[in-house]
Structure 1
């Protein structure tokens, strides 16, 4: 898969209610933000309904799902969701899946004994189905008996998988088209992740580009350092100032350049939960993106 260099996007965090999504996506498109990512956090907002609405409200904005938890959804259903959205809005969906927060999966009776086995079975099946293949598989978690999508997309979108630990990162390289790295990942950790992903791809005999997306928390403007310090206290991470970028757009652009230099294709900026002016945040993101060349 090909990938534009040094992409910058934003996140619509599910701390905000669904009725605020429309304003956010319109603001993002008006500001020139290239991509807006959504989270399917339990038990807040569903990924594909929000993605479909966001794409219907806009003309150019790409919508990422980072991520939808695999244990919550049968792989055939996820493939149907992706195919339907992709056919309606070609080239604008960036679908991602992951383990999900294990405690949340336990709350709904969906926690699996081996998340790595699930990913190893699920992601190749998902990619195959959205590519229009007919699949027969009987795995530990994924069973498909002569399953083919009636309406696969003309061009299958890249499928992302989220990774954090070394085993998962190698596996995302092996089975996925791209990897989503969680917030709090440092530039050095991006470089280490890129190396692990490359190991997985080499072991699987895969070539071509593998897209790496990283989330980075940001507070813009006057008082941003104080806001960041307060948020770190709430996250029980006092003093770990590197976890949240602060300052004006030029300062943030220089800082995220380190992430790009370390191997991130896309740096997706995450507002703090206390952000009260999301439209202003999105305009700042667009300003950062214009400087990230």
Structure 2
């Protein structure tokens, strides 16, 4: 049974998320009109959130979020994530305040330290990411003292204990990525009950094991080159053998939920049962991220994850 009445409060601001949202790289990166149509359809299906990312050579996430917020009516948008290396603390705080003021209760500011290859390409030093995040949040706190007031909950991209502790102590919670439900349970223990926990879950509606795992491994290939994810997975019992040759079946099945709509919906339940407040689904496609295919999978999944269509969603 899915419970949809998840409202999060931060400094008096209500953010009505429900239990299930959507993370997909093309929502913010596709041509604007395509993104607007997809966002409106996702909202109509009843999903509670949509997340836009920031990668190398990507569209600017706050501008993308603004375009999509203006094209929808109720759904909450989040940055998943905005890199602290891409803008100074004043600019980050100002961007969050701008969207929170324009769209009250509809924006979550997700901030992260990104990954060393991307950060080094920008010309920054990734040597001490935890210290960088702590210093950055202190600077954001100072900036918010002089910026116009608007309630903008902030989440940190967090995997391992020290960043999760910082998410608890200096933010409103954590947004985790590339994690199984076992990580969600561990994160909840660290965060406590009064912080928001939003894991991402990659999915593919494909019941043939070979095809499903091939799609999953295409998705996983980049992430299995990034130390942040590998080090986190090691703490969950995975080894270098699991990371070799595109990922073992055990790892692939832990990271990507595949099969029927009911099987995929059960993985979402597993995260919720482990302590997630809200789970964001990332539908995978055979060759590359495909927004039309993602929306088709989300349409099929919506009833299984307990969503009720809104206006125009039938």
TM-score by length of 2: 0.76
Q: Report whether the alignment pairs 1:95 with 2:95.
A: no
Counterpart residue number, 1:289: 305
Q: Say whether the 8 Å CA contact 1:27–1:282 is kept in structure 2.
A: no
What are the ranges of 5 or more consecutive residues in structure 1 without an aligned counterpart? 134-147, 199-207
Counterpart residue number, 2:205: 220
What are the ranges of 5 or more consecutive residues in structure 2 without an aligned counterpart? 1-7, 10-14, 222-245, 309-314
Shift of 1:222: 5.3
- Write out aligned runs for 1:1-293 (5 A): 2=9, 7-14=19-26, 17-19=29-31, 20-127=34-141, 129-130=143-144, 133=145, 148-149=146-147, 151-153=148-150, 156-183=151-178, 185-198=179-192, 209-221=194-206, 223=208, 225-234=209-218, 235=221, 236-239=246-249, 240-274=252-286, 275=290, 277-290=293-306
* Partner secondary structure for residue 306 of structure 2: helix
Distance 1:291 1:87 in 2: 28
Q: 1:213 to 1:128 in 2, by over 3 A?
A: farther
Runs (4+) off by over 6 Å? 3-6
Aligned residues: 262
Shift of 1:14: 4.0
Counterpart residue number, 2:224: none
Distance 1:123 1:41 in 2: 21
Shift of 1:82: 0.9
**How much is the aligned-residue C-alpha RMSD, in angstroms?**
2.4
Distance 1:85 1:5 in 2: 17
Shift of 1:23: 2.1
